[in-house]
Amino acid sequence: MNLEEWIKLPGDKALRSALAKADSVDNPTVLDYQKNKLNTALSYVKEFNTAIDAGANYGIMSYNLSNKFLQVYAFEVETSVRECLQKNVKKFNLKNVVVCECGLSDKEESVALNYLKNTFGTYVDRTKSGNFVCKTLDSFNLSNVSFIK
């Protein structure tokens, strides 16, 4: 799957940068991004029921997790990135991926974000108030969670 197939924010070079750092040696695709690290983590998983993709961004990991788990919950706090995630989930027909309209935190809160050069570097800034919603994972009452990224 090549870069142009993914819906992303205009001008965001995060996926291109990710490809430059991909684990694959020959002709990496978007789905190769951190795939060796993911596979290493998954080697410890005994049941493949529910996966949590915290900070799902455009859905690369959600895509890979959807091929292994019965259900994937993708959390993305940044509204415009989440809209791209939702479109990618629909475009790639990821029927077992649920996009949650919030980020995850240790408490329910509205947060500000600090934007760096690309979407992979965006992070919560707790020194400011903001308009991005975060909830606790426990508030979703999920069962059979086998993996959290």
Which residues fall within 8 angstroms of residue 112, CB to CB, at 6 or more apart? 124, 125, 126, 127, 128, 129, 130, 131, 132
Please report where in the chains the tokens 């996009």 appear, as a residue: 99
Q: Which fold has domain 12-104?
A: Rossmann fold (3.40.50)
Quick one: what percent of the chain has pLDDT higher than 70?
91
Mean pLDDT of the chain: 89
Domain ranges, ordered by start, for the chain: 12-104
| DSSP per residue, 110-131 | EEEEE--SSGGG-EEETTS--S
Instruction: Assess contact for 68 and 41: CB atoms under 8 A.
Output: no
pLDDT at position 23 over 60: no
Instruction: Assess contact for 77 and 124: CB atoms under 8 A.
Output: yes
Q: Taking phi first (over 0 means left), then psi (-120 to 50 degrees means alpha), and beta for anything else, what does residue 141 get?
A: left
pLDDT digits 0-9 by tens, 124-144: 888 888 999 999 999 999 999
Instruction: Retrieve residue 46's tokens.
Output: 């005994």
The predicted model scores a pTM of 0.90
Closest to 112 in 3D by CA, of 128, 94, 98: 128
pLDDT digits 0-9 by tens, 25-58: 566 677 878 888 999 999 999 999 999 999 999 9
What span, in angstroms and rounded, lies between the C-alpha atoms of 97 and 42? Answer: 18
Strand order, beta sheet including 71-75: 97-100, 71-75, 50-54, 145-148
